[in-house]
Amino acid sequence: MRLNLIRNRNFWELNPATSGSWIWRSLCKLRMCARPFLVCDIGSGITASFWHDNWTDYGPLIDLVGPLGPRVTGLPTNAVVRDALRGRSWWISSSRSRNPVITLLRNLLPSPENMVDCEQDDTYLWKPDQNAPSNRFSTAKTWLALNPISPIIPWHKSVWFKDRIPKHAFICWVVAWNRLPTRDRLRSWNMVVPSACVLCSSHDESRDHLFFRCAFSSGIWSYYTRKANLTPPSQFMDCLIWLQTASRERNVSYIPKLLFQASIYAIWRERNSRIHSDSNRSSQSIIKEINLTIRARLDPLSRARRPSSSLGSLLSSWFGVFQTRGASL
């Protein structure tokens, strides 16, 4: 690469479109992404670029002094580190100029003593984290450096749990980030829409009102929590976190998550249906639909799992705790 593609040009400034394969051009597009991780360990100084390589631990000097740095100092932009030596000291050390660029360089440049008599070539190392640079490339460390681990979301297990219903989980995730186009958000975008809740018409519509402070929607959610003798918080986000510890029984703790997401999905569908189709359904009709959805989800899971004698199947927990078999719905 150095002999045939880079030649006497600077790697950081060359135009890859003039030569090289598609792979070479694609790699060159990643130069700015990789540059912060590349550190040069100076040997003889005959390879490292004085202005463009990170050999002083302060990053590329051209980024510190700006594009006028080479002109002010008299050192060309394609100079290597060795070109900056005059005898056993830096060329700039004899300058009496008070120019801020020269003063800055004089303070940043390390001692050249180890470089003067060195016969080894400069070495490029990889530094993706706070540890010392290494001559080994680590894909895992580089990935973490480019994609830092985000803070853990306390409610993620209430949304992305095993055996969830995908479309229900997605809508729940959107609601958790308050990204549904509820009327309060539409009005904040200067859209001319009514502010009243479509379902109850007694309060302004918002995420927290719709799930589940609204008289209509709270009747659906509380129908199931009363059956299981559960007392969830009234605030949406508090309820989302509460779902993770709703019950100590594994089956009973799993089913409320399904019901929570199914209720959100069904309520949001009903809200949109009343706006766009002018059709109203009762809360009993929606509860019946949720019951069928949950039973359809639990049936194959119960068949696939081998229930323990103490735990029972998911369907037995559904009928035993939430008592929907004998209900009129």
How far apart (Å, rounded) are the C-alpha atoms in residues 293 and 187?
34
Domain presence at residue 328:
no
Decide if pLDDT at 114 tops 90: no
Domain presence at residue 227:
yes
The two beta strands, 85-86 and 38-41, are unpaired
Based on the fold, state whether residues 105 and 168 are members of the same structural domain.
Answer: no
Based on the fold, state whether residues 168 and 278 are members of the same structural domain.
Answer: yes
Owning domain of residue 293: 156-322
Binned at pLDDT 50, 70 and 90, residue 57 comes out as confident
Number of domains in the chain: 2
What pLDDT, on the 0 to 100 scale, is given for residue 149?
87
Distances 160 to 157, 171, 235 between C-alpha atoms, Å: 5, 11, 20
Residue 318, helix vs strand vs coil: helix
Residue 196 forms beta bridges with which residues? 204
pTM here is 0.66
What pLDDT, on the 0 to 100 scale, is given for residue 224?
92
Share of the chain above pLDDT 90, in %: 64
Average pLDDT over residues 291-309: 82
The string of pLDDT tens digits covering residues 206-224 is 999 999 999 999 999 999 9
Distances 16 to 8, 23, 31 between C-alpha atoms, Å: 14, 10, 11
Based on the fold, state whether residues 42 and 73 are members of the same structural domain.
Answer: yes
**Matching residue, tokens 């002999």:** 3
Average pLDDT over residues 218-241: 92
Q: What is the dihedral of CA 167, 168, 169, 170, to 10 degrees?
A: 50
Q: Which of 146, 178, 196 is the last residue of a domain?
A: 146
Binned at pLDDT 50, 70 and 90, residue 326 comes out as very low
Q: Which of 146, 167, 197 is the last residue of a domain?
A: 146
The string of pLDDT tens digits covering residues 165-174 is 999 999 999 9
Based on the fold, state whether residues 54 and 196 are members of the same structural domain.
Answer: no
The string of pLDDT tens digits covering residues 313-323 is 888 888 888 76
What pLDDT, on the 0 to 100 scale, is given for residue 4?
84
Decide if pLDDT at 117 tops 90: no
Domain presence at residue 20:
yes
Per the CB < 8 A criterion, the answer to whether 80 and 50 are in contact is yes
Q: Which of 126, 146, 166 is the last residue of a domain?
A: 146
Of 150, 172, 149, which Cα lies nearest the Cα of 160?
A: 172
Based on the fold, state whether residues 172 and 141 are members of the same structural domain.
Answer: no
Binned at pLDDT 50, 70 and 90, residue 301 comes out as confident
How far apart (Å, rounded) are the C-alpha atoms in residues 35 and 49?
13
What pLDDT, on the 0 to 100 scale, is given for residue 307?
58
Decide if pLDDT at 308 tops 60: no
Binned at pLDDT 50, 70 and 90, residue 183 comes out as very high
Based on the fold, state whether residues 135 and 175 are members of the same structural domain.
Answer: no
Based on the fold, state whether residues 276 and 295 are members of the same structural domain.
Answer: yes
- The DSSP secondary-structure symbol of 134 reads B
Domain presence at residue 21:
yes
Cα 272 from chain centroid (whole Å): 30
Q: Is the dihedral of CA 292, 294, 295, 296 positive or negative?
A: positive
Distances 238 to 46, 76, 231 between C-alpha atoms, Å: 63, 62, 12
What pLDDT, on the 0 to 100 scale, is given for residue 7?
82
